[in-house]
Structure 1
Amino acid sequence: MSDRRTPVVLVPSLSRELGATVAGALLDRPGTVVVHHDVGQLGQGVVVRSLSGPGPARETTVLELAHGCLSCTLRLDLLPLLRELAGRDGVERVVLHLDPALEPEHLCWAIRHVLLDDGSGTAGQAVRVEAVLAVLDAATWLDDATGSDDLADRGLAATADDERALAQVAVGQVTSADAVLLAGEAADPWEALRLSAVLDRLVPGVPRAGTDTAPEALLAAVGGGARRGRPTSAHDSLLPGQPPLHEDAGVRLVRIAPRRPLHPGRLHDALDVLLEGVVCARGRLWLASRHDTAVWLESAGQGLRIGDAGPWLAALSDPAWDEVDAERRVAAALRWHPLFGDRHTEVVVLTHRRPADEITAAFAAAELTDEELTLGPDGWRDLPDPFGRWHEDPCEASTPADDDSTHATTREEHS
């Protein structure tokens, strides 16, 4: 049975201009509508939405939000708009030119899961993600993805308290992509080779091309196994797509898999090795002080996040296993330990300047010693843990509004 939902193409880029150019080129296909939300004034509760095609008019709408946040922008306007456009005559495809502050992975999740306020269900019942087409500036992306700037340093932050790292967003746009379009050229052949080596390992198998290739042609190269907005899990494979494991232009993937649980204090010190000379890292940690909980690690450039990845399967009751993804159960069975079950540490690091032996040595030093190991799980819980409680954003799109006064008003202009 064919999927009758309206296809949506997401076009993320750190450059509003490059994103606009590529999204505009996609208007050449009949029935395409391009939507852009400019969140540059979100801190003042204002979002400017533009809508182009089909037809000659470009429609601009100024939204005034009672709560100036990205989540409210999605829930109160973008998601309902997608559902409306899907039912509009003449609209055969929607292209979302994303503001740099709007991360494609979160938006894809919201399309699938966030219930609309009018009770009509989710936007995903009317639209489907056909592809995420990331647009990179070949001259600057690698520096952005490995640097220390925040979005605010580049004037890209959504609000005054938006403290996200530029590298986090740069890497996230690419890892969410089903196709990558490279605009311009790297500074020199060596930097071009390094950029290619990073992308080969970051998104193996994802088609990419320069701007001499039409965006439509690049989208046509997206394969059947593409993510197309499918969310990833902390327990998915950390090496999807069979990336090359050899070193190229100083770039390589380093897999870390110590056999013992990690001491929280020494791990905290070891993580400094990921903050210089590394493009990104991601993985699961078996932290001795949190024996029943998988810990998720994610870094990009000089920013790093630690979070709760849920309980290990060994800590669940038998009935709870029925709710667990089959692939995770299989992976757990393959690594099952008679005492510790599926608890393990596995981290994959994409390094471009940091030597691999420095990374592996830092994590090896964080493993429990023989003496510490004899304390057992009850003793491990008393180890000093510097990681504290997990951070939770109080204004996620999946949560109810702060109060019943949350609303949006609009002023429309046509040009």
Structure 2
Amino acid sequence: MSRSQLLLVGGLASDVARETAESAMHEVEGAVLVHHDLRSLTEGIVRRTVRTAEDVRETVLELAHGCASCTLREDVLPLLRRLARNRVPRIVLHLDPAMEPESVCGALSTLLVEDEDGPGTVCEVLDIAAVLVVIDPENWFRRATGDETLVEMGLGAGTEDERTVAHVATGAVAFADVLVLARSADPQTLAVLDRLAPAAVRTTGREVGQLLERLPAEARRGEADDPHGPLLRGTPPLHAEHGIVLTEFDARRPLHPKRFAEAMEVLLDGVVTAWGRIWLASKPEASLWLESAGGALWLGYLGPWLCAAPDEWEQAAPLRSATAALRWDPYYGDREQHLLVLVHEADPERITEALNGALLTDAELAEGQDGWRALPDPFQLFEDEPCGSQS
């Protein structure tokens, strides 16, 4: 018998997402729709709904520690694995707006769930058919460029949730296989979607069965991108359109940490989102991931560059080692600055100028790594907590 098919439906347009999820459930006989409502999470309460064509079962769950991660680990994953074991043909997981599709898919493929057959991941017993993200073009662009937090919008997964609505909105779109538009979109929003998710299929309909059949072979279907691989799937337009332009910054020299901290504002003002890899002169071994959205910027530690840890070559993914070999520099190795910046009001030339100004000068470069490490560094977090982030 074939494995269960999992369809994830998310997005901030929760009403249309619910309609889409229910439609997807009714398309397949014997399908099940699962939804966890996190609006009372701060009180330690999660409301779970399991729906079929004939029945609706609602359960109130009380969590000792109310957070989205605990909900995922303690109930969502075991439930999905149990449904897959029961050979449910299609499982539709309607995500609460506070649950990001990429994080959920990462948990499906990596977190172990204990059942009668022993520990295992959810992806060992089912296939992710697609990730659908529903957006309402009437307000999506405003939310994707604003600085409102999820907590301020009443969607936070706990009072300590510091994520911006823009971060969740843009991240979900970039991860989607299918974008379901609640209504016709204006040209500016379409221009953003063309550049942020060029490989995603778009539809204004609620029925998704035929779309799933037409998904290209290269659709991600829940697979995360390698942070050391290409920064974007698909082929986005490179020209400016309705004020929207995708600009690229590519350099090999290290960034001066203090000057870069001062220049980071160019990745926030008039920018929809920015993402990519950087390296700081004060941390020459560390490969860092940068991401910005909604007036907030995050830096995360990806691990060492291959040139700084030769033993990592054998452990590296084939794409990473091949890319590193192709772009290898005798002096810099595989280290690079590579950012994509999606602009809606900012001047791309000003962004490039500011980032170039943050690179080491010839004189600073000549001091070598011992001199670089002594540079004033506002990003000390990475020295004490290698897996931390700075915002």
Could you tell me the TM-score, scaled by structure 2's length? 0.94
Q: What CA distance in whole angstroms lies between the structure 1 residues aligned with 2:287 and 2:15?
A: 41
Alpha-carbon distance, 1:15 to partner: 2.4
Query: Relative contact order, CA 8 A, sep 6+: which one is greater?
Result: 1
Does residue 15 in structure 1 map to residue 7 in structure 2? no
Q: Quote the Cα distance in structure 1 between the aligned partners of 2:157 and 2:36.
A: 11
Quote the residue 1:202 is aligned against. 196
Q: CA deviation at 1:362?
A: 0.9
One-letter amino acid of the counterpart of residue 130, structure 1: A
- What is the CA-CA distance between 1:70 and the residue it aligns to? 1.2
Which position in structure 2 is the counterpart of 1:361? 353
> By how many angstroms is 1:113 displaced?
0.7
CA deviation vs aligned residue, 1:131-165 (integer Å, no higher than 9, x gap)? 00100001111111111000011100011111111
Distance 1:239 1:36 in 2: 30
Q: Are 2:274 and 2:340, in contact at CA under 8 Å, matched by a contact in 1? A: yes
Q: Within 2, Cα distance between the matches of 1:161 and 1:301?
A: 18
Partner of 1:219: 212
The one-letter code matched in structure 2 to 1:75 is R
SS of match in other structure, 1:95: strand
Q: Distance in 2 between matches of 1:270 and 1:348?
A: 16
Q: Which amino acid aligns with 1:116?
A: V
Q: 2:335 aligns with which of 320, 339, 343?
A: 343
The equivalent position to 1:373 in structure 2, one of 362, 365, 371, is 365
Would you say 1:95 and 2:88 are equivalent positions?
no
Return the letter of the residue paired with 1:70: A
CA RMSD for the aligned pairs? 1.7
- Native 8 Å contact 1:51 1:58 kept in 2: yes
Q: 1:409 corresponds to which residue?
A: none
Superposition map of 1:89-168 within 5 A: 91-118=88-115, 119-168=118-167
Query: Which shows bigger deviation, 249-258 or 129-138?
Result: 249-258
- Taking structure 1 as reference, are residues 68 and 393 closer, same or farther at Cα in structure 2, changes over 3 Å only? farther
Cα deviation, 1:15-66, whole Å, max 9, x if unaligned, reads 2212111111112221211100001111111110001104x22000111111
Aligned amino acid, residue 171 of structure 2: G
**Match runs of 1:300-311 below 5 Å:** 300-311=293-304
- CA shift at 1:230, angstroms? 0.5
2:312 & 2:380 partners in 1: Cα distance?
27
Matches within 5 A, 1:276-315: 276-315=269-308
| Contact persistence 1:5–1:125 (CA under 8 A) | no
Whole-angstrom distance in 2 between the partners of 1:95 and 1:6: 10
Tell me the equivalent position of 2:59.
Answer: 61
State which of 242, 247, 250 in structure 1 corresponds to 2:235: 242
State the SS of the aligned residue for 2:381.
Answer: coil
* Deviations 1:370-400, CA, capped at 9 Å, x for gaps: 2211111111011111123157999xxxxxx
Query: What residue in structure 2 maps to residue 397 of structure 1?
Result: none
Please report how far the alpha carbon of residue 239 of structure 1 lies from its aligned counterpart in structure 2 after TM superposition. 3.3
User: Is the 1:144–1:170 Cα contact (8 Å) retained in structure 2?
Assistant: yes
* The one of 325, 337, 341 aligned to 1:333: 325
Structure 2, unaligned runs of 5 or more: none
Shift of 1:99: 0.3
State the partner residue of 1:253.
246
- Alignment correspondent of 1:32: 31
Instruction: Determine helix, strand or coil for the equivalent of 2:239.
Output: coil
Structure 2 letter corresponding to 1:32: A
Please state whether the residue corresponding to 1:152 is helix, strand or coil: coil
Aligned length: 383
The residue type paired with residue 19 of structure 1 is: A
TM value normalised by structure 1: 0.89
2:374 matched residue in structure 1: 382
Contact 1:276 1:301 in 2 (8 A): no
1:208–1:218 CA contact under 8 A, matched in 2: no
Q: Is the 8 A contact 2:3 2:89 kept in 1?
A: no
The residue aligned with 2:169 is 170
Structure 1 gaps of 5+ residues are 187-191, 395-415
- Name the aligned partner's letter for residue 365 of structure 1: G
Corresponding position of 2:262: 269
> d(CA) in 2 for partners of 1:111 and 1:278?
32
Shift of 1:289: 0.5
Q: Percent identity?
A: 45
Contact 1:8 1:94 in 2 (8 A): yes
Secondary structure in 1 matching 2:120: coil
Distance 2:255 2:209 in 1: 48
